[in-house]
């Protein structure tokens, strides 16, 4: 069968293989036919050789962690043949740490977790894959064209879950949310914010392309320029750029008793002149919280599946700016400025 693979650590080793072995029975009881795989920055980093780890004893890693497939057979009876399914990316570490021991693998404490298509587990960019019932998430049939958005949506669902848990430390009636960055994560964060009835503002550098219209279609307000210039007092900021200046501005911008959730990963190595004392004073005197959020556990995947099923399906569809047939796989991994989400199509 077909599989898109790399040799981790070897730049530009991306290949489409036609004779990749069928998924091993120990991967899980549920056999799935791949429909599509979403592509993101993590894939680009793996292809560039910066990141990624093959399963133990193997040379090559199957890419793909944003999955969508159709169940071929499930002898466990968890899902039915024909159901839409996505595979949860992260598996708990073998120790396990206190968090993985209670299935909060998104909060793994020792870093020994594994991840499909990223770290020690084969990815979903292959014609067929298997998954254990515990890591299989069923999707509403309406999500057939867009279900590969479930993985990025799960990341955002976790961010909102933790924002709300932190908010509940005291009386909390948030009204305004600011999302920085209008890529897939930022747009999905804005979607979940509007579903919570918040007044939503999204800031991005882009002045052209599809982003302004996508934000307005949510009933949210689109901004360019700097965070500092915004005439807002947001109760929540979801930071999705990882750009150091934006991150620091977001921390300064959030209103009293505000919460800043950082989801963007900065590359590091850049230093900027910054008044850390003033930031500390503002955080303390306003009871503000800044926290980081990554990955998602099963609860968040289920929350994300509900959120996507309730969303405007044509809006979700317009997040997918290109669908590339597997045979032209290399094009899927070369991002353009016009792209929001590129998808590798296994049905073509
Ligand atoms: Zn762990």
**Rounded distance between C-alpha atoms, residue 268 and residue 247, angstroms:** 12
For residues 26 and 131, the answer to whether their CB atoms sit within 8 Å is no
C-alpha to C-alpha distance for 118 and 135, rounded to whole angstroms? 16
Task: Kindly state the DSSP code that residue 266 receives in the 8-state scheme.
Answer: P
Identify the CA nearest to 151 among candidates 111, 123, 178: 123
184 and 319 in contact (C-beta within 8 Å)?
Answer: yes
65, 72, 184, 346, 347 from 47: Cα distances, Å: 14, 30, 20, 20, 23
DSSP readout, 21-83? PPPPGGG-SEEEEEEEEEE-HHHHHHHTTSS-BPPTT-S-EE---EEEEEEEE-TTSSS-TT-
Q: Ligand 1 center to residue 130 CA distance, Å?
A: 23
Compute the distance from residue 86 Cα to the ligand 1 centre, in Å.
22
How far is ligand 1, taken at its centre, from the CA of residue 98, in Å?
7
- Give 112 Cα–ligand 1 centroid separation in angstroms: 6
DSSP bridge pairs for 68: 36
| pLDDT digits (tens), the chain, 348 positions | 999 999 999 998 999 999 999 999 999 999 999 999 999 999 999 999 999 999 999 999 999 999 999 999 999 999 999 999 999 999 999 999 999 999 999 999 999 999 999 999 999 999 999 999 999 999 999 999 999 999 999 999 999 999 999 999 999 999 999 999 999 999 999 999 999 999 999 999 999 999 999 999 999 999 999 999 999 999 999 999 999 999 999 999 999 999 999 999 887 788 888 899 999 999 999 999 999 999 999 999 999 999 999 999 999 999 999 999 999 999 999 988 889 999 999 998
Ligand 1 centroid–CA 116 distance in Å is 16
Q: Give the Cα separation of 236 and 159 in Å (integer).
A: 11
Rounded distance from Cα 268 to ligand 1 centre (Å): 25
* Ligand 1 centroid distance, CA of 198 (Å): 34
Say whether pTM exceeds 0.95.
yes
Distance 270 CA to ligand 1 centre (A): 30
Query: Rounded to the nearest whole angstrom, what is the distance from the C-alpha of residue 253 to the centroid of ligand 1?
Result: 34
User: 23 C-alpha vs ligand 1 centroid, how far in Å?
Assistant: 25
**HEC sequence for 198-256:** CEEEEECCCCCCCHHHHHHHCCCEEECCCCCCCCCCCCEEEECCCCHHHHHHHHHHCCC
Q: In terms of Cα–Cα distance, which of 186, 27, 188 is closest to 117?
A: 27
H helix and E strand count, the chain: 9, 19
Q: Three-state DSSP class for 162?
A: helix
Q: Ligand 1: distance of its center to the CA of 113 in Å?
A: 6
For ligand 1, the distance from its centroid to the CA atom of residue 336, given in whole angstroms, is 36
Q: How far is the CA of 108 from the centre of ligand 1 (A)?
A: 3
Taking the centre of ligand 1 as the mean of its atom positions, its distance from the CA of residue 102, in whole angstroms, is 9
């Amino acid at each position: 069968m077909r599989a898109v693979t790399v040799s981790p650590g070897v730049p530009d080793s991306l290949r489409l293989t036609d004779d990749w072995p069928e998924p091993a029975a120990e991967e899980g009881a549920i056999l799935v036919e791949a429909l599509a795989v979403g592509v993101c920055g993590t894939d680009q980093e793996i292809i560039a050789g910066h990141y990624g780890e093959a399963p133990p004893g193997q040379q090559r890693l199957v890419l793909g962690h944003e999955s969508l497939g159709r169940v071929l057979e499930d002898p466990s009876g968890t899902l039915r043949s024909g159901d839409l399914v996505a595979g949860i990316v992260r598996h708990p570490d073998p120790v396990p740490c206190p968090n993985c021991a209670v299935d909060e693998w998104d909060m793994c404490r020792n870093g020994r977790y594994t991840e499909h298509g990223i770290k020690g587990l084969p990815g979903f960019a292959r014609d067929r894959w298997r998954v254990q019932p515990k890591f299989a998430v069923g999707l509403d049939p309406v999500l057939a064209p867009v279900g590969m958005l479930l993985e990025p949506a799960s990341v955002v669902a976790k961010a909102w879950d933790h924002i709300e848990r932190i908010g509940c430390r005291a009386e909390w009636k948030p009204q305004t949310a600011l999302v920085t960055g209008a890529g897939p994560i930022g747009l999905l964060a804005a979607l979940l914010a509007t579903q919570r009835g918040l007044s939503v503002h999204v800031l991005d550098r882009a002045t052209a392309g599809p982003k302004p219209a996508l934000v307005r279609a949510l009933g949210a307000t689109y901004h360019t320029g700097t965070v500092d210039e915004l005439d807002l007092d947001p109760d929540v900021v979801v930071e999705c750029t990882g750009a150091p200046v934006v991150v620091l501005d977001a921390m300064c911008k959030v209103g009293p008793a505000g919460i800043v959730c950082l989801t963007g990963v900065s590359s590091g190595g850049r230093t900027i002149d910054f008044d850390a004392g003033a930031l500390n004073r503002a955080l303390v005197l306003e009871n503000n919280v800044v926290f980081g959020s990554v990955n998602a556990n099963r609860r968040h995947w289920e929350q994300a599946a509900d959120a996507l099923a309730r969303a405007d399906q044509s809006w979700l569809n317009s997040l997918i700016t290109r669908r590339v047939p597997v045979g032209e796989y290399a094009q899927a991994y070369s991002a353009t400025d016009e792209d929001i989400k590129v998808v590798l199509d296994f049905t073509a």
